[in-house]
Structure 1
Amino acid sequence: MSRSSAIEGDAPDGKYLYGIIEAADDAQFETPGIGTGAPVHTLRCGRLAAVVSDAPRIDYPNSRRNMLAHTRVIEEVMARHTLLPVCFGTVASDAEAVVEKILRPRRDELLERLGLMQDRVELGLKATWHEDVVFEEVLAENPAIRKLRDSLVGRPAEKTHFDRVRLGEQIGQALERKRLEDEQRILDRLRSFVHMTKLNKPIGDRMVLNAAFLVEAAQERALDQAVRAMDADWSARLGFKYVGPVPPYNFVTITIHW
Structure 2
Amino acid sequence: MSGTKDTEGQYMYCIIRSLEPRQFTTRGIGERGDVVYTVHYRDLALAAVVSDSAVTEYGSSRRNMMAHTLVLEEVMHEYTILPVRFGIVAPSVKAIQEKVLQQRYDELDSLLVEMQGRVELGLKAFWYENVIFQEIVDENPPIRRLRDGLTGRSAEETYYERIRLGEAIESAMWKKRDEDAEKILSTLRPLVCRTVGNKVITDRMVLNDAFLVEEKRQPEFDAAVDKLDEKMGKRMIFKYVGPVPPYNFVNIVVQWDSDGG
* Same fold, judged at TM 0.5 (above): yes
The answer as to 2:37 corresponding to 1:37 is no
Is the aligned partner of 1:253 residue 2:251? Answer: yes
Percent identity for Structure 1 against Structure 2: 52
1:192 is matched with which residue?
190
- Tell me how far apart the structure 1 counterparts of residues 52 and 115 of structure 2 sit (CA, whole Å): 27
Residue 191 of structure 1, CA deviation: 1.3
What amino acid maps onto 1:31 in structure 2?
T
Q: Aligned partners of 1:155, 1:213: CA distance in 2, in Å? A: 49
CA distance in 2, matches of 1:236, 1:33: 43
CA deviation vs aligned residue, 1:196-226 (integer Å, no higher than 9, x gap): 1100111210100000000000000110111
Q: 1:17 aligns to what? A: 12
The letter for the 2-side match of 1:43 is V
State yes or no: 1:225 paired with 2:220: no
Residue identity opposite 1:50 in structure 2: A
- Choose from 212, 215, 240 the match for 1:214: 212
Task: Kindly report which structure 2 residues correspond to 1:58-207, keeping only aligned pairs within 5 A, or say none.
Answer: 58-207=56-205
Shift of 1:152: 1.0
SS in 2 for 1:245: strand
Q: How many Å apart are 1:163 and its aligned residue?
A: 1.1
Distance 1:194 1:114 in 2: 18
CA distance in structure 1 between the partners assigned to 2:152 and 2:222 by the alignment: 48
Query: Given that residues 32 and 73 in structure 1 are in contact (C-alpha distance below 8 angstroms), is that contact kept between their aligned partners in structure 2?
Result: yes
What amino acid sits opposite 2:83 in the alignment?
Answer: P
Secondary structure in 2 matching 1:172: helix
1:241 maps to what in 2? 239
Tell me the equivalent position of 2:259.
none
**Does residue 52 in structure 1 map to residue 47 in structure 2?**
no
Amino acid at match of 1:233: K
Which segments of 5 or more consecutive residues in structure 1 lack a partner in the other structure? none
Question: What is the CA–CA distance in structure 2 between the aligned matches of 1:212 and 1:6, rounded to whole Å?
Answer: 35
C-alpha distance after superposition, 1:99-153 (max 9, x if no partner): 1111111111111111110000000000010111111110111101100111011
Q: Tell me the CA shift for residue 91 of structure 1.
A: 0.3
Structure 2 distance, partners of 1:253, 1:49, is 16
Tell me how large the CA RMSD over aligned residues is: 1.1
Q: Deviations over 1:138-184 (max 9, x none)?
A: 01111011001110112111122111111100100000000000000
Helix, strand or coil for the counterpart of 1:68? helix
Greater Cα offset, 118-127 or 145-154: 145-154
Distance 1:50 1:227 in 2: 35
TM-score, scaled to structure 1 = 0.95
Structure 1 stretches (4+) deviating beyond 4 angstroms?
none
Q: CA contact under 8 A between 1:6 and 1:61: conserved in structure 2?
A: no
Against the structure 1 CA distance between its residues 144 and 19, is the aligned structure 2 distance closer, same or farther, given a 3 Å change threshold? Answer: same
